[in-house]
Amino acid sequence: MTSDLGVPAILAYLPAPDGEPARIRGCGTSLSRHYAIARAVSELVQVHLASSLGDLHAAFAAMAPDRHDWTTPYPALHACYLADFGTRLAGAVPVPYRDTDAPHRRRPSRPADRGPLQGRLHAVAA
């Protein structure tokens, strides 16, 4: 996740038990902050629902390769692996929500301004 591009990037997660990585998480990025949040939360809900399917989830888990945590010797990387933001939350500065709008694309008004696919779709829709 990066924020240096000026594009809202959102991470939504459910905290995991101590020492385990946060596997229930969702990510969303969009020029619209509102849409980025909606994408992250909807992905979080999808992952949470999929992980609660019981036997079906267990069947797929049996096919997954064994995992080994190589980050333990590196505390900063290990905190990232665990998605452990606990040490950072105390110093976090709350900021007010400010929506960002995605730029509107100019819609071609004349057939000559449309690409081949747009022209065909416009002709079918008309």
Q: Where are the domains of the chain?
A: 1-54+69-91
pLDDT band per the 50, 70, 90 thresholds, residue 5? confident
Instruction: Output the six-digit token pair for 41.
Output: 């939360």
Over 90: is that where the pLDDT of 27 sits?
yes
- Residue 115 has a pLDDT of 64
Q: How far is CA 82 from the centre of its chain?
A: 16
Mean per-residue pLDDT over the chain, rounded: 78
Q: Given this model, what pLDDT does residue 64 score?
A: 61
